[in-house]
Amino acid sequence: MTASSLKVYRRELPGCFVVHLQVSLAGAQERATTRPVYLTDQEFVVLHDMIATPPAADLFIDTERMSLEHQLREIRNAWHST
């Protein structure tokens, strides 16, 4: 998500809750090895660099060492506390 697309979400869905799931480049590359490949290595790095400074989300979660279940639990807890 970019800052400009976030503005659209905030305008069109005023009650939306935006979560930024953060992971290092190395962590993202490791996870990518378990999925079909659609990007070149260079494209992958460029995409990751583009989100190095993410727009203002309601919640940032460092998912580096989290299982999917743990990530979901964190999001649910945050959602229910809003």
Contact 33, 39 (CB under 8 A): no
pLDDT digits (tens, 9 = 90+) for 27-71: 988 888 899 989 999 999 998 888 778 888 999 999 999 998 999
- Could you tell me the pLDDT band of residue 81, with boundaries at 50, 70 and 90? confident
- pTM for the whole structure: 0.74
pLDDT of res. 70? 95
Interval 4-25: pLDDT, tens: 999 999 999 998 999 999 999 8
The pLDDT assigned to 80 comes to 87
Distance CA 27, CA 46 (A): 15
Note the pLDDT of residue 3.
86
